[in-house]
Amino acid sequence: MTRAEIEKAVIAILAKQLLLAPGEVSADARVDDLGLDSLGKVEAIFAMEEEFGISVPFNANEPDQPDFDFSSVPSIVLGIERLIVQKPA
């Protein structure tokens, strides 16, 4: 899966949570600016796990998220790329 494909899927998932069209979520958008609430966040992470067959190490109680940076579209795409590579074949 290419980075562009991952980015497209991530944007689609975020847009669906936010009830926006995918075109309304830019490729460099920050999650907080998008107005995603805490439940929206965990629902989006669930959707990404299902989409990419990965397990995202995200704990809502760790503000700096040492294991997975969920702060922006680029950081999410990078994190997912990394998790796909690590995935056991």
Footprint of another protein (CB under 8 A): 37-39, 42, 45-46, 55, 57-63
82 in Cβ contact with 69 (< 8 Å): no
Least distance to another protein, CB of residue 46, Å? 6
Nearest in space to 72 (alpha carbons), one of 19, 3, 7, 2: 7
Q: Record the tokens describing residue 52, joined without a space.
A: 């990419």
Pick between residue 1 and residue 60 the one whose CB is nearest to another protein: 60
Least distance to another protein, CB of residue 38, Å? 6
Provide the residue type at 6 as one letter. Answer: I
Least distance to another protein, CB of residue 65, Å? 10
